[in-house]
Amino acid sequence: MKTKYQIMALSPVLLFGCMNGSYASDLSIYQGNSSGKTSIFMMLDTSGSMGWGAGYGGSSMSLQDDYNICVVDRNGNGGSKAVLSEDSTTTPSYKRYYCSVTKSIYDGLDNTYKQRVRNDCTVNGTGYKCYDRLTRLKDAMFTLLNSRALSGIKLGAGYYSYEGKGQKGIVSIPAKAMSDPTHVTDLKNFVAGLKATGGTPTAAAYAEAGAYMMGTKTSGITTEEVPVYKDMYAYTPGIIGLGAGWKECTSWPNPKKNTPSLSENGYYYWPCENGTFWGSELITWSDGGAQSVKDLEQKEYVVTRYTGWFDSAVYAKKTDSTYTITNGTDSIYSGYLNTGKYISGVGNYSTSTAHNTYSTLADIKNSSNYISPAVANSTCSGNGIYFLTDGYPNGTEPKAIRNLMNLTLKKSDGTNAISMANNCSSSLSSTGSSDRNNSAWECIGEYSKALMNKSNPQGVQIQTAVIGFGSSFAGIPKNADGTYNCNAPGLSKDIQNSCLWGTSDYGTGGFYQASNSEDIISSMTQFLSGLEVEFKPSNLGVISIPKDPLDQTKAMNTGFFPMLQPLQDSTRATWLGNLKKYYVYNGTLSDSETGGNTLYTSSQEINPLAKDLWSTTTGDNSPINIGGAWNKIPVPSSRLIANDTISNINSSRNVYVLSNGNVKKVTKDNLAEDIPNNDKIGTASDFPANVRKALLKYLGYQAEPANLNKATLTAIAHPTDPYRFLGGVVHSKPLVVTKSSDINILNNKVTSRDEYVIYGSIEGGLHIVDAISGKEQSVFIPKEILVNQPETLASENAISANGIKYGVDAPWTADNTFKVTTVTSGAVTTAKYEADKMNIYGGLRMGGEALYGLNISTPSAPSLLFHNTPATPGFSRMAQIWSKPTIANVRVKGEKKRVLIFGGGYDQSIYEKPASSYVEPTTSTRGNALYIVDASNGSLLWMTSADTSDITQSHKFTQNSDIRYSVVGQPTVLDYDADGLTDVIYFADLGGQIFRVDLNNANQISTKVDSNLAVRVQTIANLQTGSGSTLFVPRFYERLSVAVFDEGQERFVLLTAGSGNRSFPLEEEKAKNKVYGIIDRDVVSNTLATNYTPSAIIKYDDLAKSGVLGKTDTTQISSDNIASIKNKMLKGWAFELRSIDSGNYARAYEESDLKGNDLYVSLYDPKATATGGVANSCTGGVRGLSTIYRICMPYGECAAYLKKDYLGIVGPNFGPTSNDPRKQILVNPNPETKEMCVGNCNNNNTVPTEQKTYTYSQYRKIKPVRWFEW
């Protein structure tokens, strides 16, 4: 590399910290991952055992099975007669059926049932209310449907068995996006109407669900033969003196003259004809002798139906005969012709239904097949079937089921890519099951594998999650890793098979045991999590290199990497982020001072081996939540100090908010509502319950307190694991401040330093962290965050109806001054720097309209200097503060005063509109102002705007009718006589204009007279072009680069500005953007502070236009143009920005950086891609490329660009070389040492030619810069 030398002029005042960083602007350039592309179909069990006994003889069914309550006695009392109901109070409503468990009933239960009652039931006085399974299912589904847990997915539903006949399942509601409120209502109507009746045709329902997900059908089988059973045995407990015991049927219909009946469990059978007596047929049956359920099951008897006063199970024997069924074109197990039907009785889900959201069934199926809801042909999508069952499969003849499943695997051409074996084959065996002849377990197992085979008709993997609901599944033990031990001894075959069905050997979606509503909710959310395809999401960020707060001639040898993890889900209120620290080495960031692992790989991906300086994690350090500031947030946990020095039993987070005009610390105790007002965090209006609960979680307590009473909050225990997260760090450039430092005077080396890093994140905090350890010292939450986005403080998964929230997203600045003393010990003399001021200032960008000043002399306890908003008198034109204020000194009434100078900000209501709806404003926008305020208290000293009517004191404003557009960029100041006082302020706006404010400090000598700080506010340039439909208004979002140049015996100031719509970086603009160089010759006038005749406002046509920035199109300003600039015929120059596309897409983003006689600018081109494609569709990424250009100053006689491009929006960063902190080189994701230069380069190049990049050196030297005598 070649070295250029530059001299930094040091005025006799202390320098304050600043940073030179690069950040992506609008979040639209980021593409999130696609984990939200998930489609789930729920098949829900509505068999009789799910209910409370309605339609059955007397048993309370699931209430009796699960809790041994509401059991019918020998006199026929209790049972379903004892079941009560209540309204759900939901919309739509449903009946909630329950059995009341008094204390005496509870005391009479054995321990197993007592435990279930405690776990599942609702406390009711001294007793409980225990609800039937179907009520628990409905409660769970309404909770899910009312929450945001299912946001971002498609969800559909069906049930089995249809009409309670025990033969088929049906698809009732298509899987559609849960972002559609009408669809959510349809699902609620479906759930509310579910009724428990009939058998459990699991295999048939599974085939129906599979056919729907694959976009095939179960229709097409014409004839099938099914076995016929006959009633044989049933057990009755006896009633009113009639004996208990097994009963046997001895008489049946004549098979030659009759047709078999269809039972509720889906079996064809010959019913007993012994007769009935007193409403029970079992009284007429014969004595059945000594039978047992186990013996009957081993002899392959099956339960076909239930009968008698006690709903006794009828065990039937398989006969030698079969029954031939012809059912049109469909199997008796097919639900295809019944598609869309509800169980609720309100009608079919079709054109005749009251649910008229869907006008036809065309959303579920077309003329030939189901319409698959599966997200197809994407490696980053998840598809699944959520299959809930409360018992063993029955009523499905295996051969017929095999044919049905095979039919669903046919492709559109009628062939099978996958075929079921002639006799279903899988390790799920029906041998030993309750209905070994009709459970079809082998088919279920084989079919689950077919759904997971990408060769299925839909070409995607479809997972199956199995939810075992009720007491039958309660005894499955768990393995050490939390999974279920499906092969544990003592499990029945049906329970074992159900458990295995969800494992990776079969359905893959997992098995979940559920006994209450919470378990069902958990199973769904866990299944959703498992459906998310495993890929590493994009963790994006850009490099920021700080200047040394003690010596601005040196760049620090450490840099920061603010991170952001984009999400595809548009309902999420925040994106996660982190801030990581690395060494600067050889033009990039690295985990070692001497090399090590660079932050980026050669393909510009984050290197998993690069370990940031705050990380204690070995292995992959690239994830967003590994290392960095995230893991140094000291929230409470139950961990011991020896195991976790950051978050342990003694940890607490220092969270501060604005309360009653002061900064106040948040504690768990002062969030209580029932404590004295003086002890509370604040008033109920400023801190309502939702805000207090959010703050509780931000403190690190992952709790949902029933109330905010002191006793409730006190009882909240430390979480087992730290509950913490960090929002994305996007535009808030990390700021370094120094509290103290020791420097060896002999070798000028720092021997110790106590420093802190300040940064904002989009969840809403302004963080102060120890620069060495990374441990958070405190976090300040602005008032605007508590009003606009408290939910982002509570959870990283917060949902927003209005899109992402921005939190504290603006860069801040510091006024960091020192008291210096020297101490000599032996031969060593040490200069001790002790900060006598550590004030920081900044806004929120799109997080809110405010400017704050904070004193952080005690980093763990910041205090308020001021809080200005548009409601503050004198600041009505103030909008969103996007850039950091400029700190300067001016004289006010004879006093040298530290001031902040800042633009009025960004008017979101005007500029956050896409091109299709944006209209260039013709009246003043908000933010159309420049302010000067007292840095100690924020009081207004002076402002300028086209609108000054709210200020009554004339010395506090200067009106300029041109200042009608938002002023977003940071002002630039000049002290042209080196007296430590600002003389000139330059700023630009979003209307293509550049302004100069001329101050007259000499006019402020009097301590008694109020004088206007400004002599004038001069419009220097208006660079708009065209009119009407061709009007092009360049927007200036960044700070102007300003430099003084000599031209023979004359001197002028060159202002450079790059244009580009930063609000919508992907849109095409009306004309090509430019990098402008505007020459201000008036500023050197010796009558500037009094009277002079200003030059005409510079227009675009007054500029040299021969320059082009755009890779192979790059061209310098021509020699003829330069001659015209020197002879004052032209007032500056413009470089046109060109995209790889012929359209108007390229724009200048990020602050330019002037090094010596070289201006570095960044051109962002949203059309450019590194590999010819866009951001990865699964993992997300960033769109567009940035190219760093160099322009020779002051006339643009050369132009060059780095050979490498960089992903996203990347500005020019400079950092130290490895051996000298005052020698600086470009720092980028991948180092680049070559540029292509045209014009006055090392040689006079007529085309871009390769040459080495430059190294710049800065020396500490006092240089007189006074221009002339007054």
Beta strand pairing status for 957-959 and 940-945? Answer: parallel
Per residue in 627-664, pLDDT (tens digit) is 999 999 999 999 999 989 999 999 999 999 999 999 99
| 964 lies in the same domain as 924 | yes
In a domain, 173, yes or no: yes
Answer yes or no: are the C-beta atoms of 509 and 383 closer than 8 Å.
no
Distance CA 439, CA 852 (A): 70
- Biggest alpha carbon–alpha carbon distance for the chain: 128
pLDDT above 70 (res 705):
yes
Among candidate residues 682, 714, 746, the one where a domain is terminated:
714
What is the phi/psi pair of residue 750, to 5°? -80, 125
Q: Do 196 and 50 touch, CB atoms closer than 8 A?
A: yes
Please check the confidence at residue 1171 and state whether its pLDDT lies above 80: no
Residue carrying the six token digits 């675009």: 1100
Query: What would you report as the CA-atom Rg of the chain, rounded to the nearest whole angstrom?
Result: 38
One-letter identity of residue 1213: N
Written as one string, the DSSP assignment of 543-606 is -EEEEETTEEEEE-SEEEEEEEE-BS-TTBS--EEEEEEEEEETTEEEEETTEEEESB-TTSPB
- Looking at the structure, do residues 273 and 141 belong to the same domain, yes or no? no
Please tell me the distance from the alpha carbon of residue 397 to that of residue 439, in angstroms, as a whole number.
7
pLDDT tier, 25 (very low <50, low <70, confident <90, very high otherwise): very low
Q: Is 1007 part of any domain?
A: yes
**Number of structural domains the chain divides into:** 4
512 with 444, same domain?
Answer: yes
Q: Residue 395: pLDDT above 80?
A: no
Q: Quick: pLDDT tens for 761-776.
A: 999 999 999 999 999 9
Mean pLDDT within 331-354: 61
pLDDT confidence bin for 686, thresholds 50/70/90: very high
Residues in Cβ contact with 735 at an 8 Å cutoff, skipping those fewer than 6 apart: 17, 19, 546, 757, 758, 759, 811, 812, 813, 814, 840
The Cα-based distances of 528 to 73, 207, 276, 411, 461 in angstroms read 44, 21, 52, 28, 15
Per-residue confidence (pLDDT) for residue 84, from 0 to 100: 95
76 belongs to a structural domain: no
Mean pLDDT across the stretch 255-272? 84
- Domain hosting residue 320, numbered range: 225-326
Residue 559 inside a domain? The answer is no
Burial of 922-934, coded b for 16+ CB within 10 Å and e otherwise, reads eebbbbbbbbbbb
Give domain status of residue 392, yes or no. yes
Q: Are strands 655-659 and 776-781 parallel, antiparallel or unpaired?
A: parallel
Note the pLDDT tens digit of each residue in 125-136: 999 999 999 999
What pLDDT shows up at residue 1269? Answer: 26
Q: For residue 12, give both structure tokens.
A: 């006799």
Q: How high is the pLDDT of residue 279?
A: 63
Structural tokens at position 353: 């239904």
- Place 503 in a pLDDT band, splitting at 50, 70 and 90: very high
322 and 202 in a common domain: no
Among the candidates 698, 714, 730, a domain finishes at 714
Same domain flag for 912 and 992: yes
Q: Is residue 404 part of a domain?
A: yes
534-588 pLDDT tens trace:
445 555 667 888 878 887 777 789 999 999 888 766 678 899 999 999 999 999 9
Q: Do 654 and 693 share a domain, yes or no?
A: yes
> CATH no. for residue 202?
3.40.50.410
Which H or E element spans position 785? helix 783-788
Nearest to 191 by CA among 390, 385, 44: 44
Report CA 1226 to chain centroid distance, whole Å. 33
> Which pTM was predicted?
0.72
End-to-end CA distance of the chain: give it in Å, rounded: 44
Residue ending a domain, among 683, 714, 745, is: 714
User: Do 157 and 277 fall within a single domain?
Assistant: no
Task: Say which amino acid occupies 429.
Answer: S
Cα–Cα–Cα angle for 124, 126, 127, nearest 5°?
55
Band of residue 32 on the pLDDT scale cut at 50, 70, 90:
low
For residue 1267, pLDDT beyond 60:
no
Q: Are 1160 and 1260 in contact (CB under 8 A)?
A: no
User: Per-residue pLDDT for 1179 more than 70?
Assistant: no
Q: Is the pLDDT of residue 471 over 80?
A: yes
pLDDT, tens digit, for every residue of 614-630?
999 999 999 899 999 99
Query: Cα 629–634–638 angle (5° rounding)?
Result: 130
**Could you tell me which residue, 1137 or 283, shows the higher pLDDT?**
1137
Rounded to whole angstroms, how far apart are CA atoms 1055 and 439? 82
Does the pLDDT of residue 343 top 70, yes or no?
no
When pLDDT is averaged across residues 515-540 and rounded to a whole number, the result is: 75
Residue 148 has pLDDT above 80, yes or no: no
Q: What average pLDDT does range 700-705 have in this prediction?
A: 89
Same domain, 364 and 507: yes
Average pLDDT of every residue of the chain: 87
**Statement: residue 264 has pLDDT above 80:** no
Sheet order of strands, 929-934 included: 886-892, 895-903, 929-934, 940-945, 957-959
Side chain identity at 794, as an amino acid letter? A
Residues 1002 and 939 in one domain: yes
Could you give the dihedral angle defined by the CA atoms of residues 618, 619, 622 and 628, in that order, rounded to the nearest 10 degrees?
Answer: -10
Cα–Cα distance between 596 and 583 in angstroms, integer?
A: 10
- What's the rounded Cα separation, in Å, for the pair 137 and 143? 10
Within a domain: 47: yes
Same domain, 198 and 314: no
User: Are 257 and 296 in a shared domain?
Assistant: yes
Instruction: Say which residue the tokens 């004359």 belong to.
Output: 1050
Q: Write out pLDDT tens, residues 1142-1161.
A: 899 999 999 999 998 999 99
**Closest listed residue to residue 62, CA positions, set 265, 308, 311:** 311
Query: What 3-state class would DSSP assign to 755?
Result: strand
Q: For residue range 589-615, what is the model confidence (pLDDT) as tens digits?
A: 999 998 899 998 888 888 999 999 999
Band of pLDDT at residue 109, cut at 50, 70 and 90: very high
pLDDT at 351 over 60: no
- Shared-domain flag, residues 345 and 467: yes
Coil, helix or strand at residue 331: coil
pLDDT confidence of residue 33: 52
Tokens of 546: 């700080």
Q: So what's the pLDDT on residue 221?
A: 62
% helix / strand / coil in the chain, to the nearest 5?
A: 15, 35, 50
